[in-house]
Structure 1
Amino acid sequence: MSRGGPRAHRGRSPRRRRVDAARRAAFDALRAVTAHDGYANLVGPALFAERRLDDRDAAFATELLHGTCRHLGTYDRIIEAAGGRSLSSLQAAIVDVLRLGAHQLLGMRVPSHAAVAATVDLAGAAVGEHTTGLANAITRRIDAHDLDGWLTILSSGLDSRDRLALRTHHPRWIVDALADVLPAEELEAALAANNERPVTALAIRPGLATAAELVGAGATAHPDVPTAAMVTGHPGRFAAVREGRAGVQDPGSQRVALRLAEIEATDGPWLDLCAGPGGKAALLAGLAIDQGTWLLASELQPHRAVLVGQAVRAYAGRHAPLVIAADGTRPAWPDSTFARVMADVPCTGLGALRRRPEARWRRTPDDLDTLVPLQRRLLDSAINAARPGGIVSYVTCSPHRRETVEIVDAVLADRDDVERIGPDVQLWPHRDGTDAMFQALLRRR
């Protein structure tokens, strides 16, 4: 790829601006994220495939979209400082144009002249010719400093925690939440790890594929997780993925599923209480079949239940999993039914910021006031669903204390029919190379 980015067009008439396909696709994807609450990791690939971007342009557009989303709050402060005005005084679409320009200048190896020209052309073509002067002026002011220079300017007068939040591109409240559960010497490393794109991992469907098959097809065996293999490129190049015998899943998610399956428990069917989008359900379904039983996968949202069905579609026969759309807080099954229950509850998702770059700017502490009561109700429901001697796995993709240990402690304090088994597990990107998954195992007395 040239340093000017993919297929840059220059010398165009100001009123007949043409923008290269990669930058235009990145802009449209960013608008879907910022204006319509889309998710970059879902919107981007679908849009880039629809636009038929080649590998070079798709790679450029992906970095432009994800990098902009990851640094969004930082770039917003830089744009305000460079423009001398608040973002609220600007049209939302031109703000997104400026954010993409900031990332090209401060986060990518795009030469200044190319980044400025491309930003002006994008403003004219996508927003309106009347915005090009503003886009040119602010983008040139952004180019007056590199990213370190801007961080130095913006850090003036901040306390140490605010400076760390700015330098690592996180809201202050997330920095505080991680500081509450990590040793001080690990805090910056944990925050920095959230800015690194994870390597794609595949999970086999037990009984239908093996990790050795994936390795033989070009994947790399995971050193710690026997069901996992690491891949580069598009996962669809693997026959096992195309046939539903393997799927994309973070090794941390695989570890908590394997831990639930391996611990001693009574006999009986298994339940995945909040199964969407289906990665854990697919892994648990095969593990259940290996033990001569079957899995019920329940998901509140019907469209997510469809995704679960797609994830487990390759299983057939007497022990094939059953997928239903049901509310886990108002169970569609009798109490004391299941031998093993997975309760991977809705959460802030702070443990998956590597793969959901916009989430750190979208979530707020107020979200916890809604999520925490729901998490408690779901854990209570999961315990009720377990038969005596059964195991409940409480899981969140978050390290936040209110969503993890405090939920488990509160439920245990109110019940005398359940006990903790062993120490809780908290995984971390900077320690384990996984999402920051939390797991507590409980046994129904």
Structure 2
Amino acid sequence: MSEASQVGPQALPQLYETVERIIDEARRQGATASEVSVSLDQGLSTSVRQGEVETVEFNRDQGFGITLYVGQSKGSASTTGSGAEAIRETVAAALAIARHASEDPYAGLAAPELMASSLPDLDLYHPWDITPEQAIERALQCEAAAFASDPRVRKADGTSLSTHQGCRAYGNSNGFIGGHASTRHSLSCVMIAETDDGQMQRDYDYDVKRIGGELAAPELIGRRAAERTVRRLGARPVPTCDVPVLFSPDLAGGLLGHFMSAISGGNLYRKSSYLEGALGQILFPEWLSLDERPHIPRALGSAAYDSDGLATYGKSFVDNGRLASYVLGTYSGRKLGLPSTANAGGIHNLFVSHGDEDQAALLRRMGRGLLVTELMGHGLNLVTGDYSRGAGGYWVENGEIQFPVQEVTIAGNLRDMCKQIVAIGNDIESRGNIRTGSILVERMTLAGS
């Protein structure tokens, strides 16, 4: 069996057997319950810069995470070894931690009857038979296309092609065991443009897919990276004002990601979220919904089960503007007195309702304001919802882009921003776990010159 094939679905039976051995060993040593997660990964990453090969890296890793319970006390340990001695020692270490840990009345596995009983095939595994030489050639083609697009593109800041395949398995002493193999392939290009008077700007483009052959052509990614970079030349600040703000799709997903963090069980039971107790409240315009769809074939966020072994399922977190559900795993659900939403480990393919307008139409609707294409810093206070981040983008007048903007800060409160969403475009971003178009917010404070 080749090295590559050992990381595919063929590896799952052996991983399952290892998980079962660990659970048996934990029971033998005195654990009252146990859960085991296993990962096996392999990848190739190449990067070029200025026409020269910068890195070629292979990686192959495996790891076992073991969590054991002695009554309501919990201990965890990990190992990279799968031999009998490594398993015995790691189980013993986890048990020693559990026996010294305080009891937690909310700790423990999900009930056996809640465990996933069947797992759909989500078609996530598509290995890419690409050699290092071919990967380097694609990266060089991408960079060359960027340089050829515009003479003001004078420097490269790195073009990378990566291909990854891996297996995951999870099992516990309540009878669940499951796993899957998956792949992820990406190509990215970062370029630097410069004017004759020495002003420089940096921007990028990228693509990521489950199937390597479905990545955008290297030349297209290179040209888009160059175009984005050149458009940034001449950027300047604008005066402080209160104006509408349009978030580009790749940044709009991050905005909604902040909201999902605010409704996640961990932040709620720690009382560190401004949305504590908000279940059932109207938080968005009534036309807006946020739906999780975890079983989309080949999607980057798809998953058949969560980190507790519960079957994932489609659900609405926001239904016609109303907060319909928190994001809960077994533990956070118990802490809040609510059932798990099968989201231990996070959300899976969040779809955002949107209209029929493209970004150009949203610019016309906005009239005057800021199109944000870059954000810097992590200026969100989740306790209060206060939001303040460095930003770059384009100033808009009369519904049309006038010039690039830099060195400004946009500020607001996330609760207000969500309610003030005017429209969401049809320019859907599909390169991540949150699928949304451009988001137009009615008003934010822009601090500039």
* Alignment TM class, shorter chain as reference: under 0.3
* Higher-RCO chain (CA-CA 8 Å, sequence separation at least 6): 2
TM-score, normalised by the number of residues in structure 1: 0.28
| More helix by percentage | 1
TM-score, normalised by the number of residues in structure 2: 0.27
